[in-house]
Amino acid sequence: ITRNLLMKNVSGFVCVTNELKNKFIKYRKPVETIPNGINTPFIGRMTGLKQSRHRMQVIFLGSPNQSWHGLDKIHLLARKLPDVDFHVIGTKEIEEPVNNLKQYGYLKEEEYINIINMCDVAIGTLALHRNNMNEACPLKTREYLKYGLPTIIGYKDSDFFDNNPPFLLQLPNEEDNINNNLSAIDEFIRSSRNFKIENKNVEHIFNDFKEKKRLNFMNRLIE
């Protein structure tokens, strides 16, 4: 009831997505988009062990009962790609998973990092449309990129809104995005070991970068 009274009296807005930014433009105040970030340092990926493995390894980090994660789509993908191994961390809600999909439930950071280090590709949110959203900045995606993992997503990421780097496969934000793009997903996974993600490619996803941007915005408001 009182939201507009508050919003009309602020000096500016910091939003985590451009979708949110567009909602606050109507107040005619300065607006800055600063997506969620992750702490430094950039780690990169361990390549030696992966190159010696024949089967490709794919990881997903999540939590239970989040329909927009698209766990059913990950299960579908595992069925469609039986020669690829899938590792689901944070939940065990997939019923009767196929043999090439392993669910771990909740793991501590040191435990899931070991799995990240053995994987070639990561999967982000695949069904954001179920939450009536098209853009997001999930921490899981930043965690993947911090460890140098090429990533498959089904939404527009706020940190890569104006560019589409080769190490990020963005699928259409729709219900049938797995079946309709299976060949592209398969090719992305097969070629993932050729992708090299360096700090300079992802430095803007880290909090060090974002906090400088936030402070600059606040200083502009003060001035």
The one-digit pLDDT tens for each residue of the chain (223 residues) are 898 899 989 999 999 999 999 999 999 999 999 999 999 999 998 765 555 568 999 999 999 999 999 999 999 999 999 999 999 999 999 999 999 999 999 999 999 999 999 999 999 999 999 999 999 999 999 999 999 999 999 999 999 988 889 999 999 999 999 999 999 999 999 999 999 999 999 999 999 999 999 999 999 999 8
pLDDT at 47: 66
pLDDT at 49: 53
Long-range contact pairs involving 154-160 (C-beta distance under 8 Å, separation at least 24): 154/70, 154/73, 154/124, 154/125, 154/126, 154/127, 154/128, 154/129, 155/124, 155/125, 155/128, 157/35, 157/124, 158/16, 158/17, 158/18, 158/33, 158/35, 159/35, 159/204, 159/205
pLDDT at 136: 97
pLDDT at 167: 97
pLDDT at 45: 87
Short-list 126, 119, 125, CA closest to 142:
125
pLDDT at 33: 96
Predicted model pTM: 0.93
